[in-house]
Amino acid sequence: MRALQIAEFGADPTLVETALPEPGPGEVRVRIAACGLNFADLLMAEGRYQERPDPPVTLGMELAGTVEALGPGVDDALRGRRVAVFAGSGGLAETGVFPAERCVPLPDAMPLADAAAFQVAYGTSHVALDHKAGLAPGETLLVLGAAGGVGLTAVEIGKRMGARVIAVARGAERLAVARAAGADHLIDSDTADLRAEVKALGGADVVYDPVGGDVFTAAMRACRPEARILVIGFASGDVPQIKANHLLVKNLTVMGLYWGGYLAFRPEVLTGSLATLFGWYAEGGLSPHVSHVLPLERALDGLELLRARKATGKVVIEMGAATAG
Smallest CA-to-CA distance from 158 within 188, 122, 187, 189 is with 122
Cα gap 321→298, rounded to integer Å: 15
Beta carbons within 10 angstroms of residue 199's beta carbon: 15
List phi, psi (to 5°) of 138.
Answer: 90, -15
CA-based R_g, the chain, Å: 20
In angstroms, rounded to a whole number, what is the distance separating the alpha carbons of residues 286 and 111? Answer: 13
Taking the CA atoms of 157, 159, 164 and 170 in sequence, report the sign of the dihedral they define.
Answer: positive
pLDDT the model gives residue 309 = 85
Sign of CA dihedral 56, 325, 316, 229: negative
pLDDT in tens, the chain (325 residues): 999 999 999 999 999 999 999 999 999 999 999 999 999 999 999 998 888 899 999 999 999 999 999 999 999 999 999 999 999 999 999 999 999 988 989 988 899 999 999 999 999 999 999 999 999 999 999 999 999 989 999 999 999 999 999 999 999 999 999 999 999 999 999 988 999 999 999 999 999 999 999 999 999 999 999 999 999 999 898 999 999 998 999 999 999 999 989 988 998 999 889 989 999 998 988 989 899 999 999 999 999 999 998 888 899 999 974 333 3
Which of 192, 193, 157, 149 minimizes the C-alpha distance to 172? 192
> pLDDT at position 324, please?
31
Give 76: exposed, middle or buried? Use CB within 10 Å, 0-12, 13-18, 19+.
Answer: exposed
Chain center to CA of 13 = 21
State whether residue 272 is helix, strand or coil.
helix
Looking at residue 188, its pLDDT comes to 97
- pLDDT at res. 231: 98
Residue 321 has a pLDDT of: 40
Q: Is 174 exposed, middle or buried (0-12, 13-18, 19+ CB in 10 A)?
A: buried
pLDDT confidence of residue 107: 87
The pLDDT value recorded for residue 50 is: 84
Which among 50, 107, 101 is positioned nearest to 275, based on CA atoms? 107
Domains contained in the chain, CATH given: 2-118+288-323 (3.90.180.10), 121-260 (3.40.50.720)
Element (H, E) at 196: helix 194-200
CA distance linking residue 201 with residue 197, whole number of Å: 7
Identify the pLDDT of residue 183: 98
Q: Is 33 helix (H, G, I), strand (E, B) or coil?
A: strand
Pairing status of strand 140-143 against strand 185-188:
unpaired
